[in-house]
């Protein structure tokens, strides 16, 4: 079994170790929740001030052109594309993941005409299911959300009436990962289009959308990409669909000539047709600061460290917290694991509150799940060791039973 000193040695030998310095992390905090909200890149502070003081205060309206504000969604999309296995011109950064899903799902349903089934997983991320239900109801054309309880049921669910298969690549609660190429092929085999939600994959695991021949994708930037709370999300439309795909939020930023100010809508020729209206520039610019850190490494190195961290966490929990009611939820097989580890415990909520009170920040998801994210750009091996030690102590001492840890807050 590894000791704390062994973990310190692993940190000294870690090729990604210097990247931790690119982030502002509070003293005394072990941050294992980058899967929910990434930390502040140091460069973002200066960049935000530059936008406020120079581009906005001094540049004013001129900055739409001179500071590149107008071109930002596409420029950021091009910069993000390598992390998705996409080409320039296939990705934009805009709107929220929920809104982007609405747009791509609507476009996909139109491309599949008479097919009425949208196949997805019952325990998928709720916003995905809510958006799908809302869109299907709104269209009023008899679309059906067909939910499976297990991926094994997909072959039956994907019949000749399936328009779309919508899946979370890495599951937000369990950390389980789908085989992107295999699932996409399965959707295509029945004539359906594949829509991936990459909220828990981008920046966490290597993604190859074009290698898998995926049709559409959406995902968040404020998680592993460290773009800031509520930062605009991304969407991908494969180049082979762009000419035919139309989305319903036909705002002026998606027009072929927005400043021609014509009365009729004509979609922009490329990915820009998936934009809607004026973007929140202050948060959009900061997406770039998160991406810049990824450009100093590669996803193979990120993945190698991610698996080493989550392996270490599982090993230490099983060795040091055995017999204390914790159950591993996340798959052990590397090919099936994202970059988080989820543990089930009957008293998961107060245990997580007790951890947070000691500066070990993970989060809690219903039902009974303690969730720990391992973002390789800044999490150290010694953090894993120390987090497990706190968890062991909290369980041994019953510290989680304190009344202060029982009350549920709005965000868990």
Binding site for ligand PLP (CB under 6 A): 96-98, 125, 127-128, 168, 172, 197, 199-200, 220, 233
Asked if 238 and 91 count as a contact pair (C-beta separation under 8 A), the reply is no
Q: Tell me which DSSP letter residue 52 carries.
A: I
Least distance to ligand PLP from the beta carbon of 223, Å?
6
Give 165's strand partners: 119, 194
Nearer to ligand PLP (CB atom), residue 78 or residue 197: 197
Q: Residue 403 contacts by C-beta under 8 Å, 6 or more apart in sequence?
A: none
**Number of helical (H) and strand (E) elements in the chain, helices listed first:** 12, 15
Nearer to ligand PLP (CB atom), residue 125 or residue 349: 125
Nearer to ligand PLP (CB atom), residue 354 or residue 369: 369
Asked if 1 and 319 count as a contact pair (C-beta separation under 8 A), the reply is yes
Least distance to ligand PLP from the beta carbon of 245, Å?
20
From the candidates 23, 172, 222, 234, which is the catalytic residue? Answer: 222
Nearer to ligand PLP (CB atom), residue 106 or residue 395: 106
From the candidates 146, 173, 186, 223, which is the catalytic residue? Answer: 223
Whether 179 is catalytic? no
Least distance to ligand PLP from the beta carbon of 168, Å?
5
Asked if 131 and 105 count as a contact pair (C-beta separation under 8 A), the reply is yes
Least distance to ligand PLP from the beta carbon of 199, Å?
3
Whether 197 is catalytic? yes
Q: What is the b/e burial string over 90-120, where b = at least 16 CB atoms within 10 angstroms of the residue's CB?
A: bbbbbbbbbbbbbbbbbbbbebbeebbbbbb
Q: Is 194 helix (H, G, I), strand (E, B) or coil?
A: strand
From the candidates 186, 337, 371, 380, which is the catalytic residue? Answer: 371
CA max distance for the chain: 70
Nearer to ligand PLP (CB atom), residue 168 or residue 174: 168
CA 204 to each of CA 19, 116, 123, 338: distance values in angstroms, whole numbers, following the listed order = 15, 33, 21, 7
Asked if 234 and 78 count as a contact pair (C-beta separation under 8 A), the reply is no
Nearer to ligand PLP (CB atom), residue 127 or residue 390: 127
Q: Residue 196 contacts by C-beta under 8 Å, 6 or more apart in sequence?
A: 167, 168, 169, 180, 184, 209, 214, 216, 217, 218, 219
d(CA 197, CA 86): 15
Least distance to ligand PLP from the beta carbon of 104, Å?
13
CA 23 to each of CA 17, 27, 199: distance values in angstroms, whole numbers, following the listed order = 12, 12, 21
d(CA 106, CA 252): 18
Least distance to ligand PLP from the beta carbon of 218, Å?
8
Pairing of strands 234-237, 91-93: antiparallel
Least distance to ligand PLP from the beta carbon of 197, Å?
5
From the candidates 31, 102, 125, 294, which is the catalytic residue? Answer: 125
Q: Is 200 helix (H, G, I), strand (E, B) or coil?
A: coil
Least distance to ligand PLP from the beta carbon of 235, Å?
11
Nearer to ligand PLP (CB atom), residue 113 or residue 229: 229
- The stretches of 249-406 forming alpha helices (DSSP H) are 281-294, 299-320, 348-357, 381-397
Instruction: Please provide residue 354's backbone torsions phi and psi, each rounded to the nearest 5 degrees.
Output: -65, -40
Whether 125 is catalytic? yes
Nearer to ligand PLP (CB atom), residue 55 or residue 128: 128
Catalytic residue numbers read: 125, 197, 222-223, 371
């Amino acid at each position: 079994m590894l000791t704390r000193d062994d973990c310190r040695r692993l940190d000294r030998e870690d090729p990604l170790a210097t990247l931790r310095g690119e982030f502002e992390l509070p003293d005394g905090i072990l941050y294992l929740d980058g899967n929910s909200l990434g930390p502040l890149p140091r460069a973002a502070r200066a960049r935000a001030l530059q936008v406020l003081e120079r581009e906005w205060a001094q540049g004013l309206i001129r900055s739409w052109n001179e500071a590149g504000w107008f071109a930002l969604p596409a420029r950021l999309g091009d910069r993000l594309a390598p992390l998705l296995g996409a080409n320039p011109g296939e990705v934009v950064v805009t709107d929220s993941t929920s809104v982007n899903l609405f747009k791509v799902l609507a476009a996909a349903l139109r491309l599949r005409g008479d097919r009425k089934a949208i196949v997805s997983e019952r325990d998928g991320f709720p916003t995905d299911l809510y958006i799908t239900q809302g869109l299907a109801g709104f269209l009023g054309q008899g679309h059906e959300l067909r939910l499976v309880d297990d991926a094994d049921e997909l072959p039956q669910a994907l019949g000749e009436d399936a328009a779309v298969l919508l899946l979370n690549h890495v599951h937000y609660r369990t950390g389980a990962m789908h085989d992107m190429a295999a699932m996409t092929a399965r959707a295509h085999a029945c004539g359906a289009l594949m829509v991936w939600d990459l909220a828990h994959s981008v920046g966490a695991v290597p993604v190859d959308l074009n290698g898998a021949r995926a049709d559409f994708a959406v995902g968040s930037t404020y998680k592993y990409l460290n773009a800031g709370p509520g930062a605009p999300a991304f969407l991908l439309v494969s180049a082979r669909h762009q000419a035919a795909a139309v989305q319903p939020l036909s705002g002026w930023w998606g027009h072929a000539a927005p400043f021609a100010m014509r009365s009729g809508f004509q979609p922009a020729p490329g990915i820009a047709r998936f934009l809607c209206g004026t973007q929140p520039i202050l948060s959009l610019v900061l997406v770039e600061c998160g991406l810049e850190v990824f450009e100093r490494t590669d996803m193979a190195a990120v993945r190698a460290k991610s698996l080493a961290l989550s392996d270490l966490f599982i090993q230490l929990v099983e060795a040091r917290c055995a017999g204390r009611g914790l159950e591993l939820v996340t798959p052990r097989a590397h090919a099936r694991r994202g970059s988080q580890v989820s543990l089930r415990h009957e008293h998961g909520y107060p245990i997580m509150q007790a951890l947070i009170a000691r500066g070990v920040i993970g989060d809690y998801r219903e039902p009974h799940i303690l969730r720990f994210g391992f973002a390789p750009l800044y999490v150290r091996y010694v953090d894993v060791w120390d987090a497990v030690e706190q968890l062991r102590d909290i369980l041994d001492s019953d510290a989680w039973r304190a009344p202060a840890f029982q009350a549920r807050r709005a965000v868990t």
